[in-house]
Amino acid sequence: MKTFESIFGFLFDASKLAYLDDDELKSCCKNLETALRSGDVAE
């Protein structure tokens, strides 16, 4: 579950998502993209 939280966690809480600044949101999205491209989510 910690793997999923680290990858998708920013999407679980709309209030947290709303308060991310542009750089934080971009970083979260890049981490998600990397995980989905490499297949790390399935581990």
* Helical segments of the chain, H only: 2-12, 14-19, 22-38
Under the banding of pLDDT at 50, 70 and 90, the label for residue 27 is very high
Rg for the chain, CA atoms, rounded: 11
Would the pLDDT of 20 be above 90?
A: yes
What is the rounded distance in angstroms from the CA atom of residue 3 to the CA atom of residue 18?
A: 22
Residue 40 carries which side chain, given as an amino acid letter? Answer: D
* Contact (CB, 8 A) for 3 and 36: no
Token digits of residue 23: 């750089």
Q: Give the residue with greater pLDDT, 42 vs 25.
A: 25
Q: Is the pTM of this model over 0.75?
A: no
